[in-house]
Amino acid sequence: MQGNFACDSINNTARRSNAAEFCSETTIKNSVVQYCTLFIYSGSLKPLEETMTQAQQSEQPLENTEKLPVNWKKMLICVFTGFASGLPLYFVLTLIPAWLRSFDLSLKTIGAFALIQFPFAWKFLWAPLLDAVTLPFLGRRRGWLLVTQVVLIAAMAAFGLTNPQHDIGLIVALCLCLTLFSATHDIVIDTFRREILTDAELGLGNSIHVAAYRIAGFVPGALSLILADHMSWQNVFFITALFMLPAIAMTLTVKEPPTPDTTPKTLEDTFILPFKEFFNRQGVQHALLVLAFIFFYKLGDSMATALATPFYLDMGFSKTQIGLIAKNAGLWPMIVAGIIGGIWMVKLGINRALWIFGFVQIITILGFVWLSSYGHFDTVGSFELWLLALVIAAEAIGAGLGTAAFVSFIARETNPAYTATQIALLTALSAFPRTFINATTGYLINAMGYYSFFWLCFFLAIPGMLLLFKVAPWGKNK
């Protein structure tokens, strides 16, 4: 498919007609949007490789039309999916550690809380059920979205009723509930996004999703921290939970994706075939290389940011300073980088984006090395605030770009017939370092100090880049 992409116009089967109806392109009347669209899609673009079963393939090749393929309604949906997916995770990763640290809990205890995130690493075990079971309201995807989002709001608000010095057992239970339903929510939302985006839209759609995902992190990681200096933690948790309401509004208003003909009908279809297809598609060796790459690609970055907020606090910065700097130095560079990265990924292709964005991601880890080399600041002035701003901005850009390419790669490696299960398998493996290895970061920091620890994170990021030679060669761009 060369030149300008076009929307699918294949009507040879009822299934394709339904999909085309769901993904139909709206007329773009705004001249500014037209200009940006022409800028993004000008030139020659290569299609992404489709990994579909024979039953899902059309007998006719896709045809080009003169229309541009951008469906801005779907891109807007990606904004909501990203925000809804990121908020509960960053609630656990940033707000909970800061809350526990403010009650003088040790770094070892806070680091051990990462183990409570194990549902993210094992979510592929129950993902097949989300493909097979349809709730009696809203449809196969939207029904599960609504249930998980309601539980997430309740769980986040419930933290305000606890005290870390007296209710640590209840806090652990709430964290477990939050991560369990957040992991389930991610399965459904990743699957929903993959089912509404065409292969040609993966790069831009996932870049927008990741940008919104990262923006969501500034609610618990910036706004909530600022509020915590001026009001009770109970009110902070309640206000933070309310930011999930737009996700519920999206769930109630969007259309349900068409159900494929290959929906699992037996126990074997549900639990066995998705894994069998993944390992047989290009051979076991290639499948194992893909899994190894997914494990290592963001390992260093994940470890470096595991206890970022406690690190900033230990450096001498206040919660308000961290919140304000994170909002101003991290938000806008991340948004700009996300937009540019999405446009660039369309031009580059996913393979080359993994190389370039991965390199940026590794380099930004050195910002933590640089900041930690100064040691604790007895007083925090403009110079120290500028240092913090540079580190946060660089991390937001590097991690945002790397994640955008990474998520697009994961989506490309799945078969649409088994979307929920295969995406859950791959994203669960990517969450494994964050869940289990990050639990050791508190012990490593106590043993090595922050400076040596961040150097370790830098070197642990290299194996993932080396695996690109096998799973996403630069010359084999797609």
Domain boundaries, position 399: 22-53+65-471
Decide if 367 is inside a domain.
yes
Give the HSE-up count for residue 420: Cα atoms under 13 Å, Cβ half-sphere.
30
How many domains does the chain contain in total? Answer: 1
pLDDT above 90 covers what percent of the chain?
A: 15
Q: Could you tell me if 153 and 241 are in contact, meaning their C-beta atoms sit under 8 angstroms apart?
A: yes
Let me know if residue 453 belongs to a domain.
Answer: yes
CB 211 within 8 A of CB 332: no
The whole-number average pLDDT for the span 217-240 is: 87
* CATH number of the domain to which 326 belongs: 1.20.1250.20
End-to-end CA distance of the chain: 12
Domain assignment of residue 476, yes or no? no
Of 4-13, 167-176, 208-217, where does mean pLDDT reach its minimum?
4-13
The single residue listed with the structure tokens 């490789």 is 49
Residue 59 falls within a domain, yes or no? no
Q: What is the pLDDT of residues 38-71, one digit of tens each?
A: 333 333 333 333 333 333 333 333 333 334 456 7
Q: Which residues contact 107 (CB under 8 A, 6 or more apart)?
A: 307, 310, 442, 445, 446
Alpha-carbon distances, residue 166 vs 117, 156, 163, 169, 299 (angstroms): 22, 18, 6, 8, 34
Q: Quote the tokens at residue 248.
A: 């519920």
Our measurement of the distance from residue 318's CA atom to the centroid of its chain's CA atoms, rounded to an integer in Å, reads 28
The pLDDT tens digits for 16-40 are 334 333 333 333 334 333 433 333 3
Residue 79 lies in a domain: yes
Q: How far is CA 74 from CA 9, 80, 196, 439, in A?
A: 18, 10, 7, 37
Query: 10 Å Cβ neighbour count for 453?
Result: 22
d(C-alpha 214, C-alpha 398), whole Å:
12
Q: Is 29 contained in some domain? A: yes
* Residue 14 counted as domain residue: no
Assigned domain for 30 exists:
yes
Q: Is 381 helix (H, G, I), strand (E, B) or coil?
A: coil
